[in-house]
Amino acid sequence: MTRTQIQLPDETYARAKKLCEAREISLAELARRGIEYILSVYDPEPDANRDWQPPAPRDLGWKGLSHAEIKAEAQLTSSEIRLTRRSK
């Protein structure tokens, strides 16, 4: 086992110590568990041969409008927008 030293903000240290006391574990054990968890969640070595692709877009909608209505709104000129606001 390797011995190491870390620096924590005072508030983080205080919260960690409080948790350790409640769980009756050492700060070192808490740090080991946290590091082991992070290592299990994150891919340690991303596949260098795989090209990165952005995630597929999700249809979140916008103000309950259809795609055609959104396109029509986006293509309005500033004078058309002013006319529609005045008529309301």
The string of pLDDT tens digits covering residues 13-52 is 999 999 999 999 999 999 999 999 998 888 666 666 677 7
The yes-or-no verdict on residue 61 having pLDDT over 70 is no
Distance from C-alpha of 88 to C-alpha of 76, rounded to nearest angstrom: 16
Q: Which residue has the higher pLDDT, 73 or 31?
A: 31
pLDDT above 90 coverage of the chain, percent: 40
Burial 24-34 (b: 16+ CB within 10 A, else e): eeeeeeeeeee
What does the pLDDT read at residue 55?
84
Taking the domains of the chain in order of start, what are their residue ranges?
10-41
- Write down the pTM of the prediction: 0.49
